[in-house]
Structure 1
Amino acid sequence: MYKFMSGALTCLILTGCGGGDGGGNPFADRRAMAIQSCPANMTCDFMQVPKDYNAPSGETVEVFYGVHKARNPAQRIGALVLNFGGPSAPAVGGAASMAAYDFPPEILDRFDIVGMDPRGAGWSAFADELTTCAVAERNKQGNCDATFQQVAPYIGSNSIVKDLDRLRAHLGDAQLTFLGYSYGTRLGSLYADMFPERVRAIVLDSPMSPTDANNVEIRIGNTAGYEKIAAYRLDYATYPTRKTTYETLASGLFHDEYGQSKNGAFYYRTNDGYTLDFDALSAVMSLTIARESSNYWQNIDYGLKDLLDNDNGFDLYWSLLSADSWSKTVYSSQEDDLRARAHLKAVICTDERMPLTDVEIALSDHDYYDASALYGPLSYWDTADMCQGWSAKRDPIAPVENMASKLGGKQILVIGGQYDPATPYTWTEEMVAALGDSASLITVNNRVDHGFSYKNVSCIDDPTTQYLINPSQEVMDDACEWNPGFFTKGFDSGSRVPHPTDNIIGW
């Protein structure tokens, strides 16, 4: 398949592009370097866990974690464990950053803030192996197939969830308090399903689907979400007309007028003499649904509408030229970014409960197109084949469903954005349905973004803090309205330190 910028949809829309807090020379004395890299506001260590939880007394591996101690030990509730998604994202550095910049005093006083680098990330087990194979693949000196066969069965979500439970016990807590963003919500919901009696409080911010059974199902859900955001961005009142024009352009990316594949050979000449090639139009489609906080959409807003309304390309052409820093980010080949993409593939394919055959994957294009005539072809081209030819052993995750009786009245807080470009709001609705009476919901309106809590927005942060401190007090379902006509400190503050979810490869 022709790949647009090696996965720009995955890098820009589902994620924010950029590395995590791993880094360093993975071939040196990792243990000493890891401890030396511990953030100044934390204490760090390794925890021994079974490599294979099906053989708990067999070989062990090391998982790296860091703790920022509660400021008021006399009022300490316990540990608040964080995961920032991915599944490629290390968590130790992100937890340190949130302790330094994001959490209010009530949280810092009463909780140890804890980050655990999941297997395959940061300083934890299997990160070196994924880095090595991913770099070799980039340099055309090999691929990750053999590495996936050796390590992928031990870095899936089931293993990470069991590591979380080991960490909870290691820290001395009888129950888990957890804040998970994006892919971290898969971990949090699976934990609630596996260990409901050990749940104290779980926040699921920007949830993944609790029931999708394979990579293609996930990506089709994403594709439908892109369509919703495009309609919002291009103004609902005028979208039907603009959509028709946009779909006509997009359909030419991959097929000619006879339905034959064009193998990425696309050129469109605008009325005023500017040319859009394959990469340019693909980039425009990605930028149309990029996160608000990136400011990418704002750069092409006028130019795209002028193209769709008047067939003029002048403003759009120059907007794309000025986006040079974006293209460099998309093309990023830093070692940690390469590892992160290999990690994403390893976990998503390992987790598949109902894997598709290669033929079924190839024939899934119509399901993508049904989800969105505009984004279906590009999304299919960019994402469908990730698990095609997968040869490593899987460790399938269970669907999370009918949770209310399992949780016995315990409350779980769900935060979802109506226009989330990475985890569509339909997944929030699915998660709430799976949790039943145990779910409380905060919906974020009028905002194209991903990951919402502790970005200094009171209608999200205040109820989240109250819930974490006292999860037995019900949080009433509510909508947090984002009104761009008024100044609200938080999302777009130029002085804001980047939130750990801003630069994640994956979900």
Structure 2
Amino acid sequence: MKIFRSRRVPPTPARGAAAAFLALALAVTGCTHAQEEAKPRAEAPTPALQPFYSQHLDWKDCGDGFQCSRAEVPLDYSAPSGEKIGISLIRLPATGKRVGSLLINPGGPGGSGIQYGRAARSVLSAKVRSQFDIVGFDPRGVGESSPIRCMSGSELDAYAGLDASPDTPAEVAAMEKGSKAFADACGAKAAQLLPHVGTADAARDMDVLRAALGDSGLTYLGKSYGTYLGAVYADLFPKKVRALVLDGAVDPSVPALKSNETQAVGFEVALKAFLQDCFEDGACPFSSRTVEGAMDELTALLKKADAHPLKNTLGDGREINESWVVLGIVTPLYERQAWPVLRQALGHAFNGDGTDLLRMADLMLDRKPDGSYSNQTEANMAINCVDHPYPKEPSAYAEGAAEAVKIAPHFGNFVMWGSLPCAYWPVAPKGADKKLTAAGAPPIVVVGTSRDPATPYEWAEGLASQLSSGVLLGYDGDGHTAYGMGSTCVDKAVDDYLISLKPPKQGTMCPKVT
């Protein structure tokens, strides 16, 4: 399972799973990298699509200064007179002289833009909120927009708890069986929707939203997977771009399993940065005082959980095995501010209690205290599998995992095996590994963080170089994504671009915040 997700700060274990993250993707899982092949650019709407473009949005108050509405789009853009689906939106009206609307997407795929929109006051600066209506939306198949649902809470518990570092033929068979069951469940319960949840369709929805909002050009902030959504939009509608900020960028030209491997290495880099920071704190739970020694202690912890699950005091019957422990470790690596929480959780885990790690894994998967899940896990897999041509032979994932663990020993297995449901997916992929150029678009700002665990900096470099008008903005920092993470350098550059259309100097590297 690959992990791409938006910025969010994990709550302390005492706050529990009720304080959910704003968005995510499942499993050690997946962003998608491909656009539909053999599809012409959709710069101008056809007459059959005009009713969607000219629709009036009926906004209603939905509390705390927000307004909510719903837009109508075709299920299948090649047959616009057929079935229609709804896209849910939320907006926070501009507080000052309005320039237009700013669409935002938190990542995933599968992250809720409605929840992210609710956080607009903390996600965007007051300066930006003064001049733009901030508009969040759930992409098709996600949250409140025709959500894909495949499995019950207990079934998702079982799936998330599959041994993602199979050591025996029996464990490999169990992983294959569980992954196929996931794919089969989605095929049985969401067959009509599955072919139409790809990123190219979501990008076409965004253009409908742009027009319905009354904007001649799209202004957009996309994080993590949201950078891919924004890049696909720009490639389809280059002349409709006003300003796009793609933060925590994904490189669309990297093949799926290579992407998994690169991401696993990114988590190893983030883990080492966490350990180096940990040694400077008196509460660091490692007996060793070197990164290498601490990495060995973590390896021993994972082996222990693999052989004998850690203690779970939540009373829900789940066994905290190696997979749950890895998810619990990965979650706070996204936020430097959450590293103290990870130190505490690991201290308890070394003493045999994995409850705090399980709570953080629940936050990542958006699992509620009652055992139910949001649909981000199913949406994540469905979008990934239709966006990208994953291998159909299970042996390819085994071989990929064997190579990945050589350079990412703690995360290689989990990231690689997590994509296995795509081998059994009931819908053929519509994507291909290819560069996105968005020829003819105005400057597009691509932001990368040097030690980003989920979207390595090299991906930002790759996307910025592919886009004909890409402008790379770097941040020497930790955690996933950069805007709103405490760097006044990044924040000012992004704000100036969104408001005044003045991009930063190509290759600007903002200094580390101390």
- Could you tell me which of 337, 341, 359 is aligned with 1:293? 337
Give yes or no for contact 2:6–2:108 (8 Å, CA) kept in 1.
no
- Could you tell me which of 278, 295, 298 is aligned with 1:246? 295
Structure 2 letter corresponding to 1:80: L
Please list every run of 5 or more consecutive structure 1 residues that lacks an aligned counterpart in the other structure: 1-6, 23-33, 255-261, 269-275, 304-313, 485-507
Q: Distance in 1 between matches of 2:473 and 2:405?
A: 31
Indicate yes or no: 2:192 matched with 1:168.
no
Provide the residue aligned with 1:178 in structure 2.
Answer: 220
Shift of 1:51: 0.3
Q: Distance in 1 between matches of 2:211 and 2:372?
A: 30
Provide the residue aligned with 1:310 in structure 2.
Answer: none
- Could you tell me which of 213, 221, 229 is aligned with 2:262? 221
Give yes or no for contact 1:463–1:475 (8 Å, CA) kept in 2.
no
Structure 2 letter corresponding to 1:107: V
- Report the CA distance shift for 1:176/1:124 in structure 2 as closer, same or farther (over 3 A): same
Structure 2 letter corresponding to 1:457: S
Alignment of 1:100-115 (within 5 A): 100-115=121-136
Give yes or no for contact 1:12–1:286 (8 Å, CA) kept in 2.
no
Indicate yes or no: 2:448 matched with 1:412.
no
Greater shift, 347-356 or 81-90, is seen at 347-356
Q: Distance in 1 between matches of 2:433 and 2:4?
A: 27
Please list every run of 5 or more consecutive structure 2 residues that lacks an aligned counterpart in the other structure: 11-16, 25-57, 159-180, 280-287, 311-319
Q: Distance in 1 between matches of 2:151 and 2:342?
A: 38
Shift of 1:283: 6.7
Indicate yes or no: 2:473 matched with 1:442.
yes
Structure 2 letter corresponding to 1:182: S
Q: Give the percent of matched residue pairs that are identical in Structure 1 and Structure 2.
A: 25
- Report the CA distance shift for 1:317/1:482 in structure 2 as closer, same or farther (over 3 A): farther
Deviations 1:192-226 (A, max 9, x none): 11111111100001112222343x33321211112
Indicate yes or no: 2:209 matched with 1:209.
no
Shift of 1:177: 0.7
Give yes or no for contact 2:247–2:448 (8 Å, CA) kept in 1.
yes
Structure 2 letter corresponding to 1:181: K
Provide the residue aligned with 1:77 in structure 2.
Answer: 99
- Report the CA distance shift for 1:466/1:297 in structure 2 as closer, same or farther (over 3 A): same
Provide the residue aligned with 1:3 in structure 2.
Answer: none
- Could you tell me which of 113, 124, 132 is aligned with 2:145? 124
Indicate yes or no: 2:76 matched with 1:52.
yes
Structure 2 letter corresponding to 1:195: F
Give yes or no for contact 2:21–2:363 (8 Å, CA) kept in 1.
no
- Could you tell me which of 45, 66, 72 is aligned with 1:42? 66
Q: Distance in 2 between matches of 1:157 and 1:287?
A: 25
Provide the residue aligned with 1:28 in structure 2.
Answer: none
- Report the CA distance shift for 1:172/1:300 in structure 2 as closer, same or farther (over 3 A): same
Q: Distance in 1 between matches of 2:115 and 2:327?
A: 31
Provide the residue aligned with 1:400 in structure 2.
Answer: 435
Indicate yes or no: 2:388 matched with 1:352.
yes
Structure 2 letter corresponding to 1:149: A
Instruction: Return the TM-score normalized by structure 1.
Output: 0.72
Alignment of 1:240-389 (within 5 A): 242-243=291-292, 246=295, 250=299, 264-265=306-307, 278=322, 282=326, 286=330, 289=333, 291-296=335-340, 299=343, 316-317=350-351, 325-326=359-360, 329=363, 333-334=367-368, 337-353=373-389, 355-381=391-417, 383-389=418-424
Provide the residue aligned with 2:461 in structure 1.
Answer: 429
Shift of 1:464: 0.7
Greater shift, 106-115 or 314-323, is seen at 314-323
Count of residues in correspondence between the two structures: 428
Where 1:337 maps in the other structure, the secondary structure is coil
Q: Distance in 2 between matches of 1:296 and 1:11?
A: 22
Deviations 1:101-146 (A, max 9, x none): 4433432232121112111223212x1xx34644484499993331
Structure 2 letter corresponding to 1:348: N
Give yes or no for contact 1:440–1:477 (8 Å, CA) kept in 2.
yes
- Report the CA distance shift for 1:40/1:359 in structure 2 as closer, same or farther (over 3 A): same
Deviations 1:325-384 (A, max 9, x none): 436646864377341111111111111145443332333223323442443234435x24
Where 1:407 maps in the other structure, the secondary structure is coil
Indicate yes or no: 2:232 matched with 1:232.
no
Q: Distance in 1 between matches of 2:6 and 2:191?
A: 29
Q: Distance in 2 between matches of 1:12 and 1:299?
A: 22
Q: Distance in 1 between matches of 2:416 and 2:259?
A: 12
Structure 2 letter corresponding to 1:184: G
Shift of 1:290: 5.1
- Report the CA distance shift for 1:474/1:281 in structure 2 as closer, same or farther (over 3 A): closer
Structure 2 letter corresponding to 1:463: A
Q: Distance in 1 between matches of 2:344 and 2:235?
A: 43
Structure 1 letter corresponding to 2:470: A
Structure 1 letter corresponding to 2:475: V
Q: Distance in 2 between matches of 1:356 and 1:160?
A: 25
Give yes or no for contact 1:223–1:375 (8 Å, CA) kept in 2.
yes
Q: Distance in 1 between matches of 2:108 and 2:244?
A: 18
Give yes or no for contact 1:117–1:123 (8 Å, CA) kept in 2.
yes
Give yes or no for contact 2:493–2:504 (8 Å, CA) kept in 1.
no
RMSD, aligned α-carbons: 4.1
Structure 1 letter corresponding to 2:195: P
- Report the CA distance shift for 1:132/1:227 in structure 2 as closer, same or farther (over 3 A): closer
Structure 2 letter corresponding to 1:424: P
Structure 2 letter corresponding to 1:462: K
Q: Distance in 1 between matches of 2:152 and 2:349?
A: 38
Provide the residue aligned with 2:496 in structure 1.
Answer: 466
Shift of 1:163: 0.2
- Report the CA distance shift for 1:157/1:251 in structure 2 as closer, same or farther (over 3 A): farther
Q: Distance in 2 between matches of 1:171 and 1:12?
A: 26
